[in-house]
Amino acid sequence: MEGTRNDDLSTVAESQDLKNIDGTPPKQSEEGDGGSNSNNEAIMAALKANQVWLQAKVAINNALIAMNDTPHHNGFFCVGQCEGQNTIDGEQMPLVLTPSAEGKDHEALVNAVKASREWLESKVIANSAVLLRGFDVRDAVEFNAVVEALGWPEIRYVGPAPRTHVHGRVWTANEGPLDQFVYFHHEMVLIKEFPEKLILFCEVPPPEGGETPFVPSFRVTERVLEEFPEVVEELDAKGLRYTLTALSKNDTKSMRGRGWEDAFGTTDKAEAEKRARALGMDLEWLPDGSVKTLLGPRGLTRVFPGRRGRRMWFNTVVGMHGGDLSSATIADGGEIPASFVRRCEEIIEEESIQFRWRRGDILILDNLATLHARRPSLPPRRVLVATCK
């Protein structure tokens, strides 16, 4: 079934065999077919009498379109639901895709993904988040096969989070202590080249907590603009400057414990500086062997092609402002108002969407359109990740 979503009630009324809730035709004008005015009056009267019914019919029609979209791709994917799911601007976040009757085994999923690459990418961009649930994906090797099947080029992670290579294009997610909250961020937001897609796989779901909440980035910008229009425009115009201090060696007791030697893949300071410049950052060496990374100026928001002209909250002000090893300031040296940062933090949390991880879940995020985080959890928890252009 093909169709176009249409939330305009008058258009629906004109395109449907309109009846009252009890099944009778709408009352006609006494002039019968006496002209367009009579027809319009009849339509408007029916609309008023059946508004709730029409809204329900539109919703059902939209749902049928979404569900019947999938048979164009081998009939393999069905549209499902999950707890915490939300609808933003008419799109489900996340869009949940489950196996059809044809099967849920790993090999079938890989073949279906290969056959549906363009369609899946269009869904990731339209919905910002797609959750593949109910498939038999058991480990890093099988997850890597799904990543390869998507066909998106790899982009290697650069950043402060401690991570370990597992297999192929698969790495562990942040290995910092599970009892700590990894704050909302766009992956590699401060680096010149950042991933467009983030693919997460739950190998071991935690017994409690450990969700990976995400936030539609444009919603944060919209709401902050409503409350702080002048501050937003000032920060975007002047730019932001960030600093982050890294030790020489890895410290797995910290969420940002990746040492600079591991991050830059060298023990040579001159080579590290060269590689840092290529990524758009400067280094300042400290007496204890650690290094302060200097980044900026960077904008507060970004608009990306193909994302409906939405203004994304593409920064890490809240996560780095006032930290022990990090800072976020205005590029001219001015301070970002603390009240502004606190309110931004509240808005981000209010807009967050999350679900409980299940074993085998694969979550694909549009990294240009969503911030993501990690809730504290009880062990064990093992979530793997692949970053893609």
**pLDDT tens per residue, range 87-99:** 999 999 999 999 9
How confident is the model at residue 247, as a pLDDT? 85
Average pLDDT, the chain: 86
Q: Is the pLDDT of residue 48 over 90?
A: no
Name the band, by pLDDT with cuts 50, 70 and 90, for residue 38. Answer: low
Name the band, by pLDDT with cuts 50, 70 and 90, for residue 21. Answer: very low
Place of tokens 């994917």: 77
**Mean pLDDT confidence for 61-77:** 53
Residues 197-246 have pLDDT tens digits of: 999 999 999 999 999 999 999 999 999 999 999 999 999 999 999 999 99
Counting every residue, how long is the chain? 389
Q: Is the pLDDT of residue 69 over 90?
A: no
Q: Which of 93-107, 264-278, 318-332, 344-358 has the lowest mean pLDDT?
A: 93-107
Q: Report the topology of domain 95-213+352-388.
A: Double-stranded beta-helix (3.60.130)
**Mean pLDDT confidence for 122-141:** 98
Nearest to 78 by CA among 105, 51, 96, 90: 96
Q: Where are the domains of the chain?
A: 1-64, 95-213+352-388
Name the band, by pLDDT with cuts 50, 70 and 90, for residue 70. Answer: very low
Range 68-72 contact pairs with CB under 8 angstroms and sequence separation of 24 or more: 68/1, 69/1, 70/97, 70/100, 72/119
Q: Name the pTM for this structure.
A: 0.81
Name the band, by pLDDT with cuts 50, 70 and 90, for residue 302. Answer: very high
How confident is the model at residue 379, as a pLDDT? 98
Name the band, by pLDDT with cuts 50, 70 and 90, for residue 40. Answer: low
